[in-house]
Amino acid sequence: MNDAIRAAKRLYLDANCLIYLIEREDTIQKQIANLVAYAVQNGIELAISEIGVAECLYGAFKRNSALLESLYTEIFYDVPLFMLCPVDGERLKLAAKLGAEKRLKLVDAVHLLAATEHECDVFVTNDTGFKSSHSIHVIQLSQL
- Supply the CATH number for residue 75's domain: 3.40.50.1010
Residue 134 has a pLDDT of 58
Residue 2 has a pLDDT of 85
Show the domain range for 93: 3-143
Segment 99-135, tens digit of pLDDT: 999 888 999 999 999 999 999 999 999 987 777 665 7
3-state secondary structure 60-115: HHHCCCHHHHHHHHHHHHHCCCEEEECCCHHHHHHHHHHHHHHCCCHHHHHHHHHH
DSSP 26: S
- Number of neighbours of residue 61 by Cβ within 10 angstroms: 14
Number of domains in the chain: 1
Residue 102 has a pLDDT of 86
Is pTM, for the whole model, over 0.95? no
Residue numbers of the chain with a pLDDT score lower than 70: 132-134
Residue 133 has a pLDDT of 67
DSSP 47: E
